[in-house]
Each structure stands twice: as C-alpha cells, then as structure tokens.
Structure 1
Amino acid sequence: MSNSKNKAASYAIIGFGKIGQALAKAFARNGIKVSVATTRDPESFAPDAAAIGSGIIPTTLAEAVKADVIFLAVRFESHPDVAKVLQTWQEKTIVDVTNAYGVPIEKMGGLPSARFVAQSFTGGKLVKGFNHLGAAILDQDPAVHGGRRVVFLASDDDGAAAEIGALAENLGFAPVKLGGLSEGGLLVQAHGNSWGKLIFQDLVKFD
C-alpha cells in the first residue's frame, strides 16, 4: 500500500469478454481510467474499448500488470498464464472475478477456488469479488430503485478488502464483506457442478 498513499491507484482489467467489458463500463460510467488487456494484440479489441469510453485503455498484458489493482476476468483455467507474467505480485491487489465452473474440486487440491488462484499470484493480495453476478446484470448501472447493487468481497487481507470496498463504492456498488477466502469465499464460489449460496443473488442495498 506504500505507493497508493502518494498517488491514485492504477487499475487494469485482464480479460475482455462479457465480464471484462461489464467491469470496464462501470469504470467508464464513473470516469475512472482503467487499462484493459488480453493475450491478444491490443489493436484487436481497441474498437470495443473505444466504444465503452475514452478512459478504457487497450494495452498489452505486460503493460497491464504494472497496475496497482488488477481485475482477473479471464476463464478460470487461464489464471496461471496471467500469473506467469510477473515473478512476484508484491504491492499488488488481485481481484479474482473468475468462476471455476466445471473444474473438479480434486484439480484444486480440495481448496476453495479463490485460495487456489491466490497460490499462483505469489506475494499478491487477493480479493474474491464481483464474480457472483452474471455479465448481463454486472453490465447494468448499479443504481437500482434508489439503492445500490451489492457486490460481495472476501479476502484474507483486511487492507486489500478495504481498498477494493472503497473502489466498489466509487464504481457505484454497495460492497458487503464476507470475511476470509476460506469462509466468505465459499459463499461466492463455483466449482465443479456446485456453487455457493450467494452466487447469482442479485441484491440491492438501501442506505
């Protein structure tokens, strides 16, 4: 957290499918700049980024991972490829938006999916979040009937959870913290053919 006190944190979204684009729209709606990257050449998705807003910056994977906060919006199976880009993820917060649909629990060594993902990002702080809503819902303005759409956050690092909670509020959502990855993470995770109790629960908070 040392650097973010002096300057505003920088943000990146890795993965620019339906979920990545829905997240980018939330940034664009609130005038917050964010880099977006995939394993493809940035030119290939630059028109989609431009269509969302001028603050959505198409870039390479190597460039995107320089951000302070990185949203992992790739297919679950692709997370190790992203993790390999850096030797250490120290000083970085990774928001795990993946869902391990169809991935047998044995393949994850019996761990909750978020803890399994966290193992790949050596030194980084992982927050599970923004993954419990389908892309079509995440894509909408989170201001609903005078309330704000809830996003659930789980992390073993309280500082990282607070940082992403503040960002979620800036993006117009109502963050609800669920505790650590092993407890809270289980409520919002999918693996194999089962999913946690809060997956797909579209809730609105009224202040």
Structure 2
Amino acid sequence: MSNSENKAGSYAIVGFGKIGQALAKAFARKGIEVSVATTRDPKSFASDAAAIGPGIIPTTLAEAVKADVIFLAVRFESHPDVAKALPSWQGKTIVDVTNAYGVPPEKMGGLPSARFVAQAFTCGKLVKGFNHLIAAILEQDPAVHGGKRVVFLASDDDGAATEIGALAENLGFAPVKLGKLSEGGLLVQARGNSWGQLIFQDLVKFD
C-alpha cells in the first residue's frame, strides 16, 4: 500500500494531455497529491509530471483507478478503455472532463454526453465538471482580480456534486452547481457540432 492509498480522499487524473496537465497544475498549486496515468508506461511522462510538482505521481492506469476520485481527462472516444480498468466503479466518483465535440449525437443514443459516459462506469458516481474552459485558462491560478474562477458541476448524484464542489473550493475555484446531467449538464457539453451555452464562458465569482 502506498501512502496515497491510505489517505482519506485520494485523487487521480487519467489522461495527461493539455487538460490533464492543467488539472495537475491546479493540484500542485495547492500542494494536494494526485496520481496521473495514461495508457502508456508512466516512465514516458514522468519528467512532465516532475516538472509540475513533487506531488504529481506518475502511475499506471491500474494503480490510478484505486483513487476515490478520478478525473477523466482523456479524449471522449477513449473513455470506454478507461472504464474497462475496473469491473465496478462502486464507491468511486468520476469527474468527466471530456468533450464530445464532433461525436454525432446518434453515436451516443441521443443521450447527453455525460450520461453516455456515465453508462460506461458501472455503479460509479459521475460529475460533469472542469470541462468548460480551455487548458490555457484552466491551468492559470483561479484567484482572479479578487475573485475566483468559476467551474460548473452537474451530476445526478447530489452527494458526489457536493464532494467535487468541496474539492474545487480546495483547489481555489468557485464551484457552481447546475443540477442534473440531463439539465445543467447540457449547458456544459459538446456533442455533434454544437457547444453548450456555458462552454468557454470564463466567469469569475466574487464573494
């Protein structure tokens, strides 16, 4: 058992492209340890992880999915491959950071993209979030002009949305809950050739 598994509330980011690295920078900024994984050998991105900070731990996909909270920062098409890493996602919270831009709605059975993703993660709790900003903005310090950068969260599980809202606050963001995946989730999703109304809206909340 590594230290990270013993800690209450462990975090992992699956996918280490621009968005995965932007998320890792948010964790590093606050000194919160997070595992990062891709389908590749961890050695192949260890130096990129080390460059972000000592608490960014390169690991295998099989190790990463032991975390309590898993950020899904892969290409939308790759989410079923990640979902296969565990037979059941019971007790796990998955934060869906994917965008299904260019994926025809009929390929998703007409479902909102996050609900389609949720189907792959059997028994897991899915929260759509952190996906509406481009990596270049997401990776910046969320403290802006005396306010906090907003991240939108949508989930069919209120407890999971609250859990990720608390994490977002710990990371310095201002979480705004949008309700269920088929309601607020539509405002922050991409599918086919359309973007939800809140995608790319870089908003700052002042207390």
TM-score bucket (shorter structure)? over 0.9
- 2:103 aligns to what? 103
Quote the Cα distance in structure 1 between the aligned partners of 2:46 and 2:53: 11
RMSD: 0.8
Deviation sequence 1:43-98 (CA, Å, 0-9, x none): 00000000000000000000000000000000000000000010000000000000
Give the TM-score, by structure 2 length.
Answer: 0.97
- For 1:87, the aligned partner's letter is P
Aligned to 1:197, the other structure's residue is in SS state: coil
Instruction: Report whether the alignment pairs 1:200 with 2:196.
Output: no
User: Structure 2 matches for 1:28-177, cutoff 5 A?
Assistant: 28-177=28-177
The one-letter amino acid of 1:66's match is K
TM-score between both structures, scaled by the size of structure 1: 0.97
Q: Distance in 1 between matches of 2:35 and 2:184?
A: 28
Unaligned runs of 5+ in 1: 1-5
Kindly state the Cα deviation for residue 148 of structure 1 after the two structures are TM-superposed: 0.2
CA offsets, 1:101-160, max 9 Å, x none? 100000000000000000000000000000000011001000000000000000000000
Aligned partners of 1:29, 1:136: CA distance in 2, in Å? 15
Give, in whole Å, the separation in 2 of the partners of 1:98 and 1:176: 18
- What is the DSSP-based 3-state SS (H/G/I as helix, E as strand, rest coil) of the residue aligned with 1:118? helix
Structure 1 residue 8: Cα displacement? 1.9
Q: SS at 1:201's partner residue?
A: coil
Secondary structure of 1:122's match?
A: coil
Counterpart in 1 of 2:10? 10
Deviation of residue 166 (structure 1)? 0.1
Task: Report runs of 4+ in structure 1 exceeding 6 Å deviation.
Answer: none
Matched residues in 2 for 1:196 and 1:87: separation?
32
Equivalent position amino acid for 1:63 in 2: E
Q: How far apart are residue 7 of structure 1 and its match?
A: 5.2
Q: What's 1:3 paired with?
A: none
Q: Distance in 1 between matches of 2:7 and 2:49?
A: 25
Match of 2:3 in 1: none
Share of identical aligned residues, percent?
A: 90
Aligned pairs, how many?
A: 202
Which string of whole-angstrom CA distances, capped at 9 and with x for unpartnered residues, describes residues 4-40 of structure 1? xx95200000000000000000000000000000000
- Structure 2 gap segments, 5+ residues each: 1-5
